Amino acid sequence: MKLSREILRSEAEIAERVQQIGREITETYAGQEISVLGVLKGAFVFLADLTRQIRLPMEVGFVESVASRRSDSLTEIVFSTSLRFSASFRIEGMHLLLVEDILDTGVTLAYLCEQIQLYGPRSLRVCTLLDKPHRRKVDFSPDFVGFKVPDRHVVGYGLDYQGKYRNLPFLSYVE
């Protein structure tokens, strides 16, 4: 697998879309304070840009990657036993916005949301930069989506292939 020469979304296209989603989120939660929770590692770039486009009082935290794939096999997702949140991150009674890099089969986000609900947030919404709607295995609809993408392995802007390419400022593929 190597990096494609094709650019899926340029840095400028991403910046424009992130600004739009930031505005949507600002309007959705108008007058409220939110807790923004980024899923490590993939969401770290998106989260940094997105939070700066949201005009609301907020706290920001991270949750350690809950799922990892044993191989490229899409079915072998291994979940850690309990979620690890940033110290002193508040969920109970808060309007929680979960931020993820990509929604693929939906297994990861469905699991995360189920776990987060146990901590008693006042509300829970999900924002994902990318969505591969054709690969869904569990019923899951995000509240905010950056771009729908085809069924290829996307890298860049936080997303990796075997740990690499997270630092690319644009979105591309490996092939």
Stretch that binds Mg ion, among 38-46, 70-78, 84-92, 123-131 (CB under 5 A): 38-46
Quote the CA–CA distance of 42 and 65 in Å, as a whole number.
Answer: 8
Choose between 56 and 171: whose C-beta lies nearer to Mg ion. Answer: 171
Stretch that binds ligand IMP, among 1-9, 16-24, 46-54, 104-112 (CB under 6 A): 104-112
Stretch that binds ligand IMP, among 5-13, 17-25, 84-92, 153-161 (CB under 6 A): 153-161
Residue 112 binding partner per list ligand IMP, Mg ion, none, with a CB distance cut-off of 5 to 8 Å that depends on partner kind: none
Instruction: Look up 131 and say whether it is catalytic.
Output: no
E strand or H helix at 47: helix 44-51
97 CB burial (10 A radius; 0-12, 13-18, 19+): buried
Quote the CA–CA distance of 5 and 141 in Å, as a whole number.
Answer: 31
Is 42 a binding residue for Mg ion by CB under 5 A? The answer is yes
The token duo for 161 is: 């292939």
Closest of 144, 163, 162 to residue 100, by C-alpha: 144
Single residue of 34, 47, 103, 124 touching ligand IMP by CB under 6 A: 103
Single residue of 4, 26, 28, 105 touching ligand IMP by CB under 6 A: 105
